[in-house]
Chain A
Protein backbone atom coordinates (compact mmCIF):
# COMPACT_ATOMS: atom_id res chain seq x y z
CA UNK A 1 0.00 0.00 0.00
CA UNK A 2 1.43 3.40 -0.84
CA UNK A 3 2.74 5.63 1.92
CA UNK A 4 0.13 8.29 1.23
CA UNK A 5 -2.79 5.88 1.39
CA UNK A 6 -1.41 4.45 4.62
CA UNK A 7 -1.01 7.93 6.02
CA UNK A 8 -4.57 8.86 5.04
CA UNK A 9 -5.99 5.64 6.45
CA UNK A 10 -4.11 6.18 9.73
CA UNK A 11 -5.77 9.56 10.07
CA UNK A 12 -9.22 8.21 9.20
CA UNK A 13 -9.39 10.11 5.91
CA UNK A 14 -10.73 9.08 2.54
CA UNK A 15 -8.03 8.09 0.10
CA UNK A 16 -6.74 11.25 -1.61
CA UNK A 17 -7.08 11.54 -5.36
CA UNK A 18 -4.03 13.71 -6.16
CA UNK A 19 -1.02 11.44 -6.84
CA UNK A 20 1.34 14.27 -5.90
CA UNK A 21 0.64 13.48 -2.27
CA UNK A 22 2.70 10.34 -2.95
CA UNK A 23 5.65 12.58 -3.78
CA UNK A 24 5.15 14.51 -0.56
CA UNK A 25 5.03 11.27 1.45
CA UNK A 26 8.40 10.30 -0.04
CA UNK A 27 9.77 13.75 0.82
CA UNK A 28 8.64 13.17 4.41
CA UNK A 29 10.67 9.95 4.40
CA UNK A 30 13.79 11.91 3.40
CA UNK A 31 13.77 11.29 -0.36
CA UNK A 32 15.54 14.34 -1.78
CA UNK A 33 14.89 13.23 -5.38
CA UNK A 34 11.18 13.34 -4.62
CA UNK A 35 11.59 16.90 -3.35
CA UNK A 36 13.42 17.93 -6.54
CA UNK A 37 10.64 16.37 -8.60
CA UNK A 38 8.01 18.19 -6.53
CA UNK A 39 9.75 21.53 -7.00
CA UNK A 40 10.16 20.99 -10.73
CA UNK A 41 6.48 20.13 -11.03
CA UNK A 42 5.23 23.25 -9.23
CA UNK A 43 8.01 25.82 -9.56
CA UNK A 44 6.55 27.62 -12.60
CA UNK A 45 3.09 27.91 -11.04
CA UNK A 46 4.40 29.10 -7.68
CA UNK A 47 6.85 31.55 -9.22
CA UNK A 48 4.10 32.93 -11.42
CA UNK A 49 1.78 33.33 -8.44
CA UNK A 50 4.35 34.99 -6.17
CA UNK A 51 5.49 37.28 -8.99
CA UNK A 52 1.91 38.36 -9.64
CA UNK A 53 1.32 38.95 -5.94
CA UNK A 54 4.56 40.75 -5.11
CA UNK A 55 5.33 42.44 -8.45
CA UNK A 56 9.09 41.81 -8.13
CA UNK A 57 11.01 38.89 -9.62
CA UNK A 58 13.68 38.56 -6.90
CA UNK A 59 11.18 38.82 -4.06
CA UNK A 60 8.98 36.30 -5.87
CA UNK A 61 11.85 33.80 -6.13
CA UNK A 62 12.66 34.22 -2.44
CA UNK A 63 9.01 33.79 -1.50
CA UNK A 64 8.58 30.66 -3.64
CA UNK A 65 11.76 29.26 -2.12
CA UNK A 66 10.44 29.91 1.40
CA UNK A 67 7.20 28.12 0.50
CA UNK A 68 9.00 25.02 -0.79
CA UNK A 69 11.29 24.95 2.24
CA UNK A 70 8.31 25.18 4.56
CA UNK A 71 6.69 22.25 2.74
CA UNK A 72 9.94 20.28 3.03
CA UNK A 73 10.17 20.86 6.78
CA UNK A 74 6.52 20.03 7.44
CA UNK A 75 6.06 17.25 4.85
CA UNK A 76 5.41 14.63 7.52
CA UNK A 77 2.68 16.67 9.24
CA UNK A 78 0.65 17.89 6.23
CA UNK A 79 -2.73 16.20 5.83
CA UNK A 80 -3.30 14.79 2.33
CA UNK A 81 -6.63 16.31 1.34
CA UNK A 82 -7.76 17.61 -2.03
CA UNK A 83 -5.17 18.82 -4.51
CA UNK A 84 -1.61 19.48 -3.40
CA UNK A 85 -1.36 22.68 -5.40
CA UNK A 86 -4.25 24.16 -3.36
CA UNK A 87 -2.14 23.70 -0.25
CA UNK A 88 0.92 25.19 -1.95
CA UNK A 89 -1.13 28.17 -3.08
CA UNK A 90 -2.51 28.66 0.42
CA UNK A 91 0.96 28.72 1.95
CA UNK A 92 2.22 31.04 -0.82
CA UNK A 93 -0.70 33.46 -0.47
CA UNK A 94 -0.27 33.68 3.33
CA UNK A 95 3.47 34.18 2.95
CA UNK A 96 3.08 36.90 0.32
CA UNK A 97 0.30 38.61 2.29
CA UNK A 98 2.64 38.87 5.28
CA UNK A 99 5.36 40.29 3.03
CA UNK A 100 2.96 42.87 1.58
CA UNK A 101 1.86 43.86 5.08
CA UNK A 102 5.48 44.33 6.20
CA UNK A 103 6.20 46.30 3.02
CA UNK A 104 3.34 48.68 3.81
CA UNK A 105 4.62 49.18 7.37
CA UNK A 106 8.14 49.92 6.10
CA UNK A 107 6.75 52.34 3.50
CA UNK A 108 4.67 54.05 6.18
CA UNK A 109 7.64 54.63 8.44
CA UNK A 110 9.82 55.74 5.56
CA UNK A 111 7.07 58.06 4.29
CA UNK A 112 7.35 56.41 0.89
CA UNK A 113 4.51 56.30 -1.59
CA UNK A 114 3.65 52.80 -2.79
CA UNK A 115 5.29 52.32 -6.16
CA UNK A 116 2.44 52.14 -8.60
CA UNK A 117 4.20 52.26 -11.93
CA UNK A 118 7.18 49.96 -11.60
CA UNK A 119 8.57 48.51 -14.79
CA UNK A 120 7.71 44.84 -15.38
CA UNK A 121 10.81 42.74 -14.80
CA UNK A 122 10.29 40.61 -17.89
CA UNK A 123 10.31 42.40 -21.18
CA UNK A 124 9.78 39.81 -23.90
CA UNK A 125 10.71 40.59 -27.47
CA UNK A 126 7.40 41.24 -29.14
CA UNK A 127 7.24 39.47 -32.53
CA UNK A 128 4.74 42.02 -33.83
CA UNK A 129 6.53 44.59 -35.95
CA UNK A 130 4.09 47.34 -34.96
CA UNK A 131 5.71 49.64 -32.38
CA UNK A 132 2.31 51.01 -31.38
CA UNK A 133 1.17 47.48 -30.47
CA UNK A 134 4.31 46.97 -28.39
CA UNK A 135 3.77 50.27 -26.60
CA UNK A 136 0.11 49.41 -26.03
CA UNK A 137 1.05 46.07 -24.44
CA UNK A 138 3.54 47.68 -22.09
CA UNK A 139 1.09 50.41 -21.23
CA UNK A 140 -1.60 47.85 -20.37
CA UNK A 141 0.82 45.87 -18.22
CA UNK A 142 1.87 48.95 -16.28
CA UNK A 143 -1.71 50.17 -15.94
CA UNK A 144 -2.88 46.75 -14.73
CA UNK A 145 -0.01 46.48 -12.27
CA UNK A 146 -0.69 49.96 -10.90
CA UNK A 147 -4.45 49.41 -10.61
CA UNK A 148 -4.10 45.96 -9.05
CA UNK A 149 -1.54 47.24 -6.53
CA UNK A 150 -3.98 49.93 -5.41
CA UNK A 151 -6.67 47.37 -4.56
CA UNK A 152 -7.09 46.23 -0.95
CA UNK A 153 -5.19 42.99 -0.39
CA UNK A 154 -8.29 40.81 -0.02
CA UNK A 155 -9.68 42.02 -3.37
CA UNK A 156 -6.29 41.79 -5.07
CA UNK A 157 -5.86 38.16 -4.07
CA UNK A 158 -9.26 37.10 -5.38
CA UNK A 159 -8.77 38.97 -8.65
CA UNK A 160 -5.31 37.54 -9.30
CA UNK A 161 -6.42 34.00 -8.53
CA UNK A 162 -9.56 34.26 -10.68
CA UNK A 163 -8.27 36.33 -13.63
CA UNK A 164 -4.66 35.21 -13.94
CA UNK A 165 -4.42 31.84 -12.25
CA UNK A 166 -7.72 30.52 -13.60
CA UNK A 167 -8.82 28.99 -10.30
CA UNK A 168 -12.47 28.16 -9.74
CA UNK A 169 -14.37 30.04 -7.04
CA UNK A 170 -14.38 26.89 -4.93
CA UNK A 171 -10.58 26.60 -5.21
CA UNK A 172 -10.14 30.29 -4.41
CA UNK A 173 -12.36 29.85 -1.34
CA UNK A 174 -10.20 26.90 -0.22
CA UNK A 175 -6.93 28.76 -0.79
CA UNK A 176 -8.06 31.87 1.05
CA UNK A 177 -10.16 30.15 3.71
CA UNK A 178 -13.29 32.20 2.91
CA UNK A 179 -16.82 31.43 1.73
CA UNK A 180 -17.93 31.31 -1.91
CA UNK A 181 -20.09 34.38 -1.29
CA UNK A 182 -17.07 36.29 -0.01
CA UNK A 183 -15.10 35.32 -3.15
CA UNK A 184 -17.84 36.74 -5.37
CA UNK A 185 -18.31 39.90 -3.33
CA UNK A 186 -14.61 40.67 -3.34
CA UNK A 187 -14.32 40.02 -7.07
CA UNK A 188 -17.25 42.32 -7.84
CA UNK A 189 -15.79 45.08 -5.66
CA UNK A 190 -12.36 44.59 -7.24
CA UNK A 191 -13.81 44.96 -10.75
CA UNK A 192 -15.74 48.09 -9.77
CA UNK A 193 -12.56 49.65 -8.40
CA UNK A 194 -10.65 48.69 -11.53
CA UNK A 195 -13.32 50.08 -13.85
CA UNK A 196 -13.11 53.38 -12.01
CA UNK A 197 -9.31 53.37 -12.37
CA UNK A 198 -9.47 52.45 -16.06
CA UNK A 199 -11.77 55.35 -16.79
CA UNK A 200 -9.01 57.70 -15.63
CA UNK A 201 -6.31 56.05 -17.78
CA UNK A 202 -4.97 57.81 -20.92
CA UNK A 203 -6.12 56.57 -24.36
CA UNK A 204 -4.17 53.91 -26.21
CA UNK A 205 -1.19 55.01 -28.27
CA UNK A 206 -2.81 53.56 -31.39
CA UNK A 207 -5.97 55.54 -30.73
CA UNK A 208 -4.33 58.91 -30.25
CA UNK A 209 -5.01 61.38 -33.01
CA UNK A 210 -1.91 62.87 -34.63
CA UNK A 211 -2.32 66.64 -34.91
CA UNK A 212 -2.23 67.85 -38.51
Chain B
Protein backbone atom coordinates (compact mmCIF):
# COMPACT_ATOMS: atom_id res chain seq x y z
CA UNK B 1 0.00 0.00 0.00
CA UNK B 2 1.35 3.38 -0.98
CA UNK B 3 2.02 5.66 2.01
CA UNK B 4 0.66 9.17 1.60
CA UNK B 5 2.50 11.72 3.70
CA UNK B 6 0.59 14.81 4.84
CA UNK B 7 1.66 18.11 3.26
CA UNK B 8 4.45 19.86 5.22
CA UNK B 9 2.35 23.01 5.80
CA UNK B 10 -0.36 21.05 7.57
CA UNK B 11 2.21 19.34 9.76
CA UNK B 12 3.72 22.71 10.64
CA UNK B 13 0.31 24.18 11.50
CA UNK B 14 -0.41 21.27 13.83
CA UNK B 15 3.00 21.64 15.42
CA UNK B 16 2.13 25.29 16.06
CA UNK B 17 -1.25 24.39 17.57
CA UNK B 18 0.13 21.65 19.79
CA UNK B 19 3.03 23.81 21.03
CA UNK B 20 5.78 21.73 19.44
CA UNK B 21 7.63 24.57 17.68
CA UNK B 22 10.52 26.57 19.14
CA UNK B 23 9.90 30.31 19.54
CA UNK B 24 11.85 31.37 16.45
CA UNK B 25 9.91 29.02 14.20
CA UNK B 26 6.62 30.17 15.73
CA UNK B 27 7.41 33.75 14.69
CA UNK B 28 8.31 32.69 11.12
CA UNK B 29 5.19 30.58 10.74
CA UNK B 30 2.88 33.29 12.08
CA UNK B 31 4.39 35.73 9.60
CA UNK B 32 3.67 33.27 6.76
CA UNK B 33 0.09 32.77 7.99
CA UNK B 34 -0.45 36.53 7.97
CA UNK B 35 1.07 36.88 4.49
CA UNK B 36 -0.54 33.90 2.72
CA UNK B 37 -4.37 33.94 2.65
CA UNK B 38 -4.75 30.25 1.79
CA UNK B 39 -2.46 29.21 4.62
CA UNK B 40 -4.22 31.63 6.96
CA UNK B 41 -7.63 30.19 6.09
CA UNK B 42 -6.41 26.63 6.60
CA UNK B 43 -4.92 27.61 9.99
CA UNK B 44 -8.21 29.23 11.05
CA UNK B 45 -10.20 26.08 10.26
CA UNK B 46 -7.66 23.82 11.91
CA UNK B 47 -7.41 25.91 15.06
CA UNK B 48 -11.21 26.12 15.31
CA UNK B 49 -11.38 22.31 15.19
CA UNK B 50 -8.55 22.04 17.71
CA UNK B 51 -10.27 24.43 20.12
CA UNK B 52 -13.60 22.60 19.78
CA UNK B 53 -12.03 19.47 21.18
CA UNK B 54 -13.01 19.46 24.83
CA UNK B 55 -13.36 16.72 27.34
CA UNK B 56 -14.78 17.09 30.85
CA UNK B 57 -12.34 17.51 33.73
CA UNK B 58 -11.07 14.10 34.82
CA UNK B 59 -12.53 12.39 37.86
CA UNK B 60 -10.16 12.77 40.82
CA UNK B 61 -8.74 9.69 42.50
CA UNK B 62 -10.91 8.42 45.36
CA UNK B 63 -9.63 8.98 48.88
CA UNK B 64 -7.22 6.32 50.07
CA UNK B 65 -6.61 4.99 46.54
CA UNK B 66 -2.84 4.73 46.95
CA UNK B 67 -3.07 3.11 50.39
CA UNK B 68 -5.60 0.48 49.25
CA UNK B 69 -3.52 -0.27 46.20
CA UNK B 70 -0.41 -0.77 48.34
CA UNK B 71 -2.27 -3.24 50.57
CA UNK B 72 -3.47 -5.16 47.53
CA UNK B 73 -0.01 -5.22 45.91
CA UNK B 74 1.78 -6.42 49.05
CA UNK B 75 -0.93 -9.03 49.73
CA UNK B 76 -0.80 -10.39 46.20
CA UNK B 77 2.96 -10.74 46.33
CA UNK B 78 2.77 -12.48 49.73
CA UNK B 79 0.14 -14.96 48.49
CA UNK B 80 1.74 -15.56 45.08
CA UNK B 81 3.64 -18.78 46.10
CA UNK B 82 0.38 -20.34 47.40
CA UNK B 83 -1.44 -19.53 44.19
CA UNK B 84 1.27 -21.18 42.11
CA UNK B 85 1.24 -24.31 44.33
CA UNK B 86 -2.56 -24.70 44.22
CA UNK B 87 -2.65 -24.14 40.45
CA UNK B 88 0.01 -26.85 40.01
CA UNK B 89 -1.87 -29.25 42.26
CA UNK B 90 -5.15 -28.97 40.35
CA UNK B 91 -3.39 -29.30 37.02
CA UNK B 92 -1.69 -32.49 38.20
CA UNK B 93 -5.00 -33.85 39.50
CA UNK B 94 -6.71 -33.16 36.19
CA UNK B 95 -3.87 -34.81 34.30
CA UNK B 96 -4.09 -37.89 36.52
CA UNK B 97 -7.85 -38.12 35.97
CA UNK B 98 -7.46 -37.93 32.20
CA UNK B 99 -4.75 -40.59 32.23
CA UNK B 100 -6.96 -42.84 34.36
CA UNK B 101 -9.91 -42.43 32.02
CA UNK B 102 -7.76 -43.11 28.98
CA UNK B 103 -6.28 -46.23 30.57
CA UNK B 104 -9.71 -47.49 31.61
CA UNK B 105 -11.14 -46.96 28.13
CA UNK B 106 -8.11 -48.59 26.54
CA UNK B 107 -8.31 -51.62 28.83
CA UNK B 108 -12.02 -51.98 28.20
CA UNK B 109 -11.53 -51.88 24.44
CA UNK B 110 -8.68 -54.38 24.64
CA UNK B 111 -10.59 -56.87 26.82
CA UNK B 112 -13.61 -56.67 24.47
CA UNK B 113 -11.38 -57.49 21.49
CA UNK B 114 -9.86 -60.51 23.29
CA UNK B 115 -13.26 -61.89 24.32
CA UNK B 116 -16.10 -60.15 22.48
CA UNK B 117 -18.78 -62.30 24.17
CA UNK B 118 -20.28 -60.70 27.20
CA UNK B 119 -19.14 -62.06 30.52
CA UNK B 120 -21.54 -63.87 32.84
CA UNK B 121 -21.71 -60.83 35.01
CA UNK B 122 -22.53 -58.57 32.12
CA UNK B 123 -25.28 -60.96 30.93
CA UNK B 124 -26.91 -60.86 34.35
CA UNK B 125 -26.76 -57.06 34.42
CA UNK B 126 -28.37 -56.66 30.99
CA UNK B 127 -30.96 -59.32 31.85
CA UNK B 128 -31.89 -57.29 34.89
CA UNK B 129 -32.19 -54.10 32.83
CA UNK B 130 -34.40 -55.85 30.25
CA UNK B 131 -36.60 -57.29 33.01
CA UNK B 132 -37.08 -53.83 34.56
CA UNK B 133 -37.99 -52.39 31.19
CA UNK B 134 -40.69 -54.98 30.51
CA UNK B 135 -42.08 -54.50 33.96
CA UNK B 136 -42.37 -50.75 33.38
CA UNK B 137 -43.93 -51.10 29.96
CA UNK B 138 -46.39 -53.95 30.40
CA UNK B 139 -46.08 -55.84 33.66
CA UNK B 140 -48.19 -53.76 36.13
CA UNK B 141 -48.74 -56.65 38.50
CA UNK B 142 -45.02 -57.24 38.86
CA UNK B 143 -43.90 -53.64 38.91
CA UNK B 144 -46.41 -52.26 41.45
CA UNK B 145 -45.46 -51.54 44.94
CA UNK B 146 -42.11 -50.03 43.93
Residue of A with least CB distance to B6: A188
Cβ–Cβ < 8 Å partners of B119 in chain A: none
Stretch at the interface among A1-9, A16-24, A45-53, A83-91: A45-53
* B59-95 interface bits toward A, Cβ cutoff 8 Å, 1 = contact, 0 = none: 1111001110110111011000000000000000000
Residue of B with least CB distance to A164: B55
Main secondary structure of the interface of B (DSSP, over half): helix
Q: Find out whether the CB atom of B61 lies under 8 angstroms from the CB atom of A44.
A: yes
Residue of B with least CB distance to A168: B20
List B residues 31-75 near A (Cβ within 8 Å): 45-46, 49-50, 52-62, 65-67, 69-70, 72-74
Among candidates B46, B54, B56, residue contacting A123 with C-beta atoms closer than 8 Å: B56
Given contacts A36-B70, A73-B77, is CB(A163)–CB(B58) below 8 Å? no
Q: Find out whether the CB atom of B72 lies under 8 angstroms from the CB atom of A69.
A: yes
Residue of B with least CB distance to A58: B59
* A15-57 interface bits toward B, Cβ cutoff 8 Å, 1 = contact, 0 = none: 0000000000000000010011101100110011001100001
The distance in angstroms between the C-alpha atoms of A73 and B56, with both chains bound, is: 33
Q: Find out whether the CB atom of A43 lies under 8 angstroms from the CB atom of B65.
A: yes
Q: Find out whether the CB atom of A185 lies under 8 angstroms from the CB atom of B6.
A: yes
The distance in angstroms between the C-alpha atoms of A137 and B52, with both chains bound, is: 10
Task: Check: B112 CB closer than 8 A to any chain A CB.
Answer: no
Range for the number of chain A residues in contact with chain B: 35 or more
Among candidates B18, B55, B60, B65, residue contacting A52 with C-beta atoms closer than 8 Å: B55
Q: Find out whether the CB atom of B73 lies under 8 angstroms from the CB atom of A194.
A: no
Residue of A with least CB distance to B68: A65
Task: Check: B11 CB closer than 8 A to any chain A CB.
Answer: yes
Task: Check: B14 CB closer than 8 A to any chain A CB.
Answer: yes
The distance in angstroms between the C-alpha atoms of A13 and B19, with both chains bound, is: 31
Q: Find out whether the CB atom of A36 lies under 8 angstroms from the CB atom of B66.
A: yes
Task: Check: B2 CB closer than 8 A to any chain A CB.
Answer: no
The distance in angstroms between the C-alpha atoms of A72 and B11, with both chains bound, is: 39
Cβ–Cβ < 8 Å partners of B5 in chain A: 181, 185
Q: Find out whether the CB atom of B59 lies under 8 angstroms from the CB atom of A57.
A: yes
Q: Find out whether the CB atom of B14 lies under 8 angstroms from the CB atom of A195.
A: no
Interface residues of B (CB under 8 A from A): 5-6, 10-11, 14-15, 18-20, 45-46, 49-50, 52-62, 65-67, 69-70, 72-74, 76-77
Interface residues of A (CB under 8 A from B): 32, 35-37, 39-40, 43-44, 47-48, 51-52, 57, 60-61, 65, 68-69, 72-73, 120-124, 137, 140-141, 143-145, 148, 159, 162-164, 166, 168-169, 181, 184-185, 187-189, 191, 194-195, 198
**A-B residue pairs, 4 tightest by C-beta:** A188-B6, A39-B66, A48-B58, A120-B56
